[in-house]
Structure 1
């Protein structure tokens, strides 16, 4: 067996370093994209939808224990805006037209954010009334 010179050793170590960096970048990318080895059936908390309102504000619908919760997320706080039982099918959404009958009390987006919370409270109250009947 021949001697391993500095050039051969340096070449092997740089190849190993490149492979390790590519592996770390791939794992980091998979983590950022939300791909994991866990199955969705075992999760009790599931993010159903995300709607970006601005660069740092979001509306998030989270499903937990067969209940959907609407969250308002800002850099300073996370607020629960409303909740309702999880819808079983899309046909249930078509049959309920009560949400379409709600008219917001404000005309522009520059009104106070409390009005949006009032609107979401109206939606939650009407949903609970409908479920009681």
Structure 2
């Protein structure tokens, strides 16, 4: 469950992305979001207002629609930038620079047998989601 601080940080990222589009309120956000969303239940202006006020963070399917619409990574929109990384959002397909820990982990994975490496890669794809296969 996200903390109040995490919800407020999400709301700030969302508002910053919507500012150039001149979308400032829940009604306008809900209207524009619903034009793009293909799920069963549309978003109400009250729900959109809760996103903007930091009361709630959208469910994964709605977060995915927001990220696609605003051309940012779902992970960045939900959680923000990795520690120590520039705070600007990354465009789809753009990657965070690897940290020393990431390079060390990649080296360990690379040293596995092909069968074990395949299993680790499959596990990462499963945890990361379907977007990993598209990139």
TM-score computed with the length of structure 1 as normaliser = 0.23
Greater Cα radius of gyration, structure 1 or 2: 1
More strand as a share of residues:
1
Larger RCO (CA under 8 A, 6+ residues apart): 2
